[in-house]
Amino acid sequence: MPDDLLADLLGALGFDPDGHLPGLWQGAPPRAHLRRWRDDLGLSAEQIIRVAKETRKEHPTPPDGPRALDRAMERAVRRKSGIGSPASRPGNAMCGRRSGKSASSEALPGAEAVTAFYAELVNSDRFLPASMISNTIRDLLLASGLVTAGRLRKRGIA
C-alpha cells in the first residue's frame, strides 16, 4: 500500500503527516484499515479521502485512530450500492415511517447485485464488521438462499 494514500488521509483529517501523530495513527494499524477499506469494502483512494473530509465536517476534531472511520467507510459503501438512501427505502421515506413490509428483492433497486456483494463477503474469511450487515441486508441474504443462518451466526451476525 503506498504511503502516499496514508499521507493524503492524514492530511484530509487535519494531521501533519510529517509531524507528531497520535499512537493509533502510527505503524501498521492505519495501513491495515486502509487495506480493509480498499480491498474488503471496495472503496477507491479518492472515495476514502472524500469520506475522511466529510467526517471532519461533522466532527471537527480529528479521530483518535482509524477505527473511528470504519462506520463512515461502511456508510459510503452502502451509499455507493444504493442501500440506505431514501430512494431505496420501502414505503414512505419522506415522513420517516416504516411501511411494515418485509425485506424483499423487489423493495430495493439492484438488490441482486447488493445481495451478491454481501453474500460473497459473508461467505469469505475476509474482515467483516458485524455492524456492516443490517437487519434488512441479513433478511435479503437469507431470502436469497446465498447465505445460511449458521454462516451468519458464525460471522457474528444475529
Both 5 and 67 in one domain: the answer is yes
Q: Is 57 exposed, middle or buried (0-12, 13-18, 19+ CB in 10 A)?
A: exposed
Averaged pLDDT for residues 108-137? 82
In-domain check, residue 151: yes
C-alpha cell read off for 106: 423487489
Residue 75 and residue 103 in one domain: no
Domain of 112, in residue numbers: 98-158
pLDDT score for 83: 62
pLDDT at residue 84, rounded to an integer:
54
- pLDDT for 50-89, tens place per residue? 999 998 888 888 888 888 888 888 888 888 776 654 544 4
- d(C-alpha 145, C-alpha 158), whole Å: 16
Q: What is the pLDDT of residue 111?
A: 66
Tell which of 34, 52, 81 closes a domain.
Answer: 81
Closest CA to 121 of 103, 105, 137: 137
- Same-domain status, 102 and 76: no
Report the alpha-carbon distance of residue 77 to residue 80 in Å, rounded.
5
pLDDT band at 93 (very low <50, low <70, confident <90, very high): very low
Given a cut of 60, is residue 25 above it in pLDDT? yes
Q: Report the predicted TM-score, pTM, of the whole model to 2 decimal places.
A: 0.52
Q: Which residue has the higher pLDDT, 106 or 57?
A: 57
Domain assignment present for residue 93? The answer is: no
Average pLDDT over residues 146-158: 88
Question: How far apart (Å, rounded) are the C-alpha atoms in residues 88 and 109?
Answer: 6
The pLDDT value given to residue 108: 43
Q: What is the mean pLDDT of the chain?
A: 79
Assign 6 a pLDDT band (cuts: 50, 70, 90): confident
Contact criterion met (CB below 8 Å) for 15 and 62: yes
pLDDT number for residue 50: 92
